[in-house]
Structure 1
């Protein structure tokens, strides 16, 4: 009974964090960025309304990525319980991080619904739903904390992706040094945290198959875990291809050229 009560309390805390996260990110989008961005960058006021909205959304995305990515690294290094038992280790810190992300994803999905005509990106919507589906088991049952944390580390590449968009929004030449340096850093970090880790990640997944902890999960979490992983990695490979292709085009293009980009770029 004590254990069940504690689990219920943890679930309540988790969803309270989800709600708080949603409110904070919505505040950053609606209030903070529109007030601060014009003071930091004069080009903000010259953007069309749709571009200003995407600017604000990427400010929020960067804040989320820095918070969650930093917490992921901390958990990976210092959370011995999660590292010792990747399926059933004490999930509290991971659940709080996942709850922050779920609040952000709900905010972002509502943003897509509101500005679908301007920010149309079905791939990102699929990504969000796949993540929420899988992380629901983490929040409700506290399972798979190590793998959930491992997945969240992919957010470390997001600030570079967003910075590329900011450079493009203010018409910075694609051949300029800041754009090229950021593009190279983006490609490297994206590859490290989303592509290079795929063999290691799945080797750890396969190592759990047939174990007592894996069997205890039940079919629902098992399916959510594996299916969401496959979907996310297909998207990651697709986005890696777009990043490499885009960087190649920047290096080869004539000065002043400007590609079209969507919310996922």
Structure 2
């Protein structure tokens, strides 16, 4: 019953102008994916000889990782600014931190929904060429969590923390590109692997620990989130943490293997 009441009232702050802004942001995210996909194909075919040697499946993934990287930079930069530069989420007597949002945070989340939906569409259409079940779960949970935050205007601070973890995506995408380009033995592949390891440790492991600490120290505010949002805050981050730990284990194994191989070739 409490969940039902929460669902009925959590969108009371929504105005037609906000709805229009959200829809525009989601559409902008989808349009961004299409434009960057096409630009990636055009630039790659003109400046990267290896691209023209790829089969159709690898070209598709190469272009897909183009807009994945673009979104990651956009989302991470916006989240970094709002979390650590702006004073949006500073505790004040006027408004609880958990209820704070802004036009920029709404825009970042809307664009991110557009990206995740676009990527999900490609994943389903090409399944499992662009990613297996773990990617579907990750993207699905992301869309679900961001949508709840947008409609409620609550917990933006935690959604932005999770979106900042997208900062590791460019390293993942570069690693894949170097692999298909036959550059697994290059120094840049080794350097990127080390950067990916430490970046993942900072953005997807340590940051999540900080997120849990922040939720614990602000639990008096977290409890004020509408019921479905509260239960989601209690369950979604742990699921993402388990996935991040699993991927981190694979990244660590890959880095150790790469470093051993590089040392052997010296």
Tell me the number of residue pairs that the alignment of Structure 1 and Structure 2 aligns: 251
Q: Tell whether 2:44 aligns with 1:37.
A: yes
TM-score where L is the length of structure 2: 0.88
Could you tell me how far 1:91 is from its partner in structure 2?
3.4
DSSP-derived class of the 2:97 partner: coil
After superposition, residues 11-90 of structure 1 pair within 5 angstroms as 11-29=19-37, 31-84=38-91, 85-90=96-101
Partner of 1:201: 211
Q: Tell whether 2:113 aligns with 1:113.
A: no
- Contact 2:22/2:110, CA 8 A, preserved across alignment: yes
Could you tell me how far 1:16 is from its partner in structure 2?
1.6
In structure 1, what is the Cα distance between the partners aligned to 2:148 and 2:12? 16
Partner of 1:237: 245
CA 1:180/1:99 → structure 2, altered by over 3 Å: closer, same or farther?
same
Select the residue among 180, 185, 197 that pairs with 2:190: 180
TM-score where L is the length of structure 1: 0.88
- Contact 1:137/1:221, CA 8 A, preserved across alignment: yes
Could you tell me how far 1:208 is from its partner in structure 2?
2.8
For structure 1, list consecutive stretches of 5 or more residues without a partner in the other structure.
256-265
Partner of 2:166: 155
After superposition, residues 226-265 of structure 1 pair within 5 angstroms as 226-253=234-261
Could you tell me how far 1:5 is from its partner in structure 2?
7.0
In structure 1, what is the Cα distance between the partners aligned to 2:207 and 2:22? 28
CA-to-partner distance for each residue in 1:45-85, whole Å, 9 max, x for gaps? 10000000000011111111111111111112333132334
In structure 2, what is the Cα distance between the partners aligned to 1:48 and 1:123? 25
Select the residue among 224, 238, 241 that pairs with 1:216: 224
Partner of 1:192: 202
Partner of 1:262: none
In structure 2, what is the Cα distance between the partners aligned to 1:193 and 1:86? 22
Could you tell me how far 1:251 is from its partner in structure 2?
2.1
Could you tell me how far 1:8 is from its partner in structure 2?
3.8
Q: How large is the Cα RMSD of the aligned pairs?
A: 2.2
In structure 2, what is the Cα distance between the partners aligned to 1:118 and 1:67? 25
In structure 1, what is the Cα distance between the partners aligned to 2:87 and 2:262? 51
CA 1:177/1:13 → structure 2, altered by over 3 Å: closer, same or farther?
same
Partner of 2:176: 165
- Contact 2:171/2:195, CA 8 A, preserved across alignment: yes
CA-to-partner distance for each residue in 1:235-257, whole Å, 9 max, x for gaps? 111111111011112223489xx
- Contact 2:14/2:151, CA 8 A, preserved across alignment: no
In structure 2, what is the Cα distance between the partners aligned to 1:128 and 1:86? 26
Could you tell me how far 1:86 is from its partner in structure 2?
3.3
Partner of 1:134: 145
- Contact 1:91/1:145, CA 8 A, preserved across alignment: no
- Contact 1:91/1:143, CA 8 A, preserved across alignment: no
